[in-house]
Amino acid sequence: MLAEVEKVLDVFKQQDINRVYFVACGGSSSLMYTSKYVLDRESKTIDSDLYSSNEFVHRNPQKLDEKSLVILCSHFGKTPETVEAARFAREKGALTVSLTFDAESPLAEVSEHIIVYKEGKETSYVDEAPAIMLELVFGLLLVKEGNKKFTDVVSSFENLRSILESEKVNYQEKAKGFAERYKDAKIIYTMGSGANYGVAYWFAICILMEMQWIHSHAIHAGEYFHGPFEILDKDVPIIQLVGLDETRPLEERSLEFSKRYGDNVIVLDAKQFDLTQIPDGVKGYIAPLVLQSVLRMYADELAEARNHPLSTRRYMWKVPY
Amino acid sequence: MLAEVEKVLDVFKQQDINRVYFVACGGSSSLMYTSKYVLDRESKTIDSDLYSSNEFVHRNPQKLDEKSLVILCSHFGKTPETVEAARFAREKGALTVSLTFDAESPLAEVSEHIIVYKEGKETSYVDEAPAIMLELVFGLLLVKEGNKKFTDVVSSFENLRSILESEKVNYQEKAKGFAERYKDAKIIYTMGSGANYGVAYWFAICILMEMQWIHSHAIHAGEYFHGPFEILDKDVPIIQLVGLDETRPLEERSLEFSKRYGDNVIVLDAKQFDLTQIPDGVKGYIAPLVLQSVLRMYADELAEARNHPLSTRRYMWKVPY
């Protein structure tokens, strides 16, 4: 585990924290949905909210104060809204902890505490951003409420790299098949709930809309039956995530319905993954990370089949906005 | 104001309430986004969360207890997930207040307190569901924190019917023009932030997806620049809501960008409404109700132009789910 994470957990011990705000944009924000789910499920004393950075600043929550912990994230640390959110939160006296890949970035500059995460097969998964997000919330739960799951979460990450690599091998052919079948799709929906909703959101807005210019929408598996499901026909493609958290019944229900009336349902079920090395008590919280890793391969294959590299942009970083 | 609302506000006085859960599905849930925005903006002591009913039950938040107020809503009072959520919340000792159109419904049956709302031009807007949602949160803020905006909110509703009717007249031609131009559209996005996001969500999932079988997605105006905006081209239709709340700059920014690169941006700007009868301090909270009322006319015209009545369903209430 990174020294910066241990340092921040020590800071948690010394400070009175009754609220966490998860603040970021796009893909960085999508990492935080599982953390919010964890606090809702596990915490007796800590409230939490999750906001896109600019919404957070303009909404200006009354309860943001010196007892608030604000966790922010930006890969390059240059997202202006997130940098402003960190500055704004410190001005309110809140404790700011920012995750970034760049220790020299503006976000690192304005944040009270920074955690520089790592990436890539060479590093232990313990030091990747999605892992650190969970280390922070379970670490907070440990120091504030004596929640013992922290150890299981960290040990899970130590085994996760090999799990991710073997599941990628298991799903390689499925990913190629998905890409071939949907390379001309005009719209692809994603669906999930609970701990997995953030992964569905990430694939919809970052991969499909941003990187592939394919229309999308991350439908909540429970909301599906109160409007969105009327769009379903034989043709509409839906990627259904099925996780291992307590909301799994919602995802099983939407899957069952979509399969009954649709012919283009792509299923990623965490029950198919070999998670024997992950303690049962935290499987539901770890499953989204495996789902995301496998989905990333689906994204790579889709980009390849469409001859539309994931790096292609028409506006982002290219025009003023 | 309905006697049931006054009765519930008396109950608020007598009970210790430190948290509100807004729990409903689909359109009923969309009403609650503004209420959550109000509590975030105005409350010093009360936390809040908003969940789709089934997510709420399975997520099973640790902090749901006898100090929690759970506000639920279902028009016919028959939504099984919401009925179950009310039962579940009472079992946890929470105070349950349910809005419904049917006093004899299962939801009314299982809820500790019910408020039977009214609808239609004959009734005062004060007694409609969107108004009651705000009466409850501002009433809570009044009795718990002495927030004085409650009076302004209630007086606003007394004037609102005439405002809604005159704005509908003002927008009649625009609504017809929208319907003619987009009757063959395969996808229409909606966009908003802050107090208005729920209205964007409602139009996307209830009107477009459910009632018109048109692909859609309510894009958050701040998140737009972190993925979704890459989908924008000259052709893609986007309905941009621009409200009067503190997040208006987010909506102005997304509007400016969409207009720069798109030729199909439909704008509904609350600044164009005559809200002189609404006190400035609450204009931002009332604007979504006017936006929704005008948008409802856009829905009617779209259904007419497409010869696809808003009542048409293929699954809802017709097949098991």
Average pLDDT in the A42-63 region?
98
Helix, strand, coil distribution of chain A in percent, nearest 5: 55, 15, 30
Residue B108: pLDDT above 90?
yes
- Supply φ then ψ for residue A202, to 5 degrees: -60, -45
Contact A187 B215 (CB under 8 A): yes
Closest-CA distance of chain A to residue B173, Å: 28
Average pLDDT in the A143-160 region?
96
Residue B121: pLDDT above 90?
no
| Chain segment B41-65, per-residue pLDDT in tens | 999 999 999 999 999 999 999 999 9
Q: Domain ranges in chain A?
A: 3-147, 151-306
Contact A25 B222 (CB under 8 A): yes
Cα angle B26, B27, B31 (rounded to 5 degrees) comes to: 115
Closest-CA distance of chain B to residue A132, Å: 22
- Which are the contacts of B37, defined by CB distance < 8 A and separation ≥ 6? A59, B194, B195, B245, B285
Residue B7: pLDDT above 90?
yes
ipTM above 0.95, yes or no: yes
Closest-CA distance of chain B to residue A227, Å: 4
Segments in chain B forming alpha helices (H): 3-14, 26-30, 33-42, 53-59, 80-91, 106-110, 129-145, 149-182, 197-202, 212, 248-261, 280-305
* Band of residue A44 on the pLDDT scale cut at 50, 70, 90: very high
Q: What is the pLDDT of residue A214?
A: 98
- Cβ atoms of A21 and A51 within 8 Å: the answer is yes
Average pLDDT in the B218-233 region?
98
Contact B227 A26 (CB under 8 A): yes
Partners of B314 on chain A (C-beta within 8 Å) are 230
- Cβ atoms of A98 and A73 within 8 Å: the answer is yes
- Indicate the SS3 state at residue B142: helix
Residue owning tokens 């997520």: B59
- The alpha carbon of A178 is separated from its chain's Cα centroid by a whole number of angstroms, namely 22
Partners of A230 on chain B (C-beta within 8 Å) are 209-211, 213, 313-316
Architecture of domain B3-147: 3-Layer(aba) Sandwich (3.40)
Q: Do domains B3-147 and B151-306 have the same CATH topology?
A: yes
A220 closest CB neighbour out of B52, B223, B316: B52
CA distances from B284 to A64, B36, B177, B234, B290 (A): 21, 13, 27, 31, 11
Q: What is the pLDDT of residue B120?
A: 86
| Chain segment A82-120, per-residue pLDDT in tens | 999 999 999 999 999 999 999 999 999 999 999 999 998
| Chain segment B238-270, per-residue pLDDT in tens | 999 999 999 999 999 999 999 999 999 999 999
Contact A314 B52 (CB under 8 A): no
Q: What is the mean pLDDT of chain B?
A: 97
Length in residues, chain A: 321
- Indicate the SS3 state at residue B95: strand
CATH fold, domain B151-306, is Rossmann fold (3.40.50)
Q: What is the pLDDT of residue B88?
A: 98
Residue A187: pLDDT above 90?
yes
Instruction: Give the rounded percent of residues in chain B with a pLDDT score beyond 70.
Output: 100
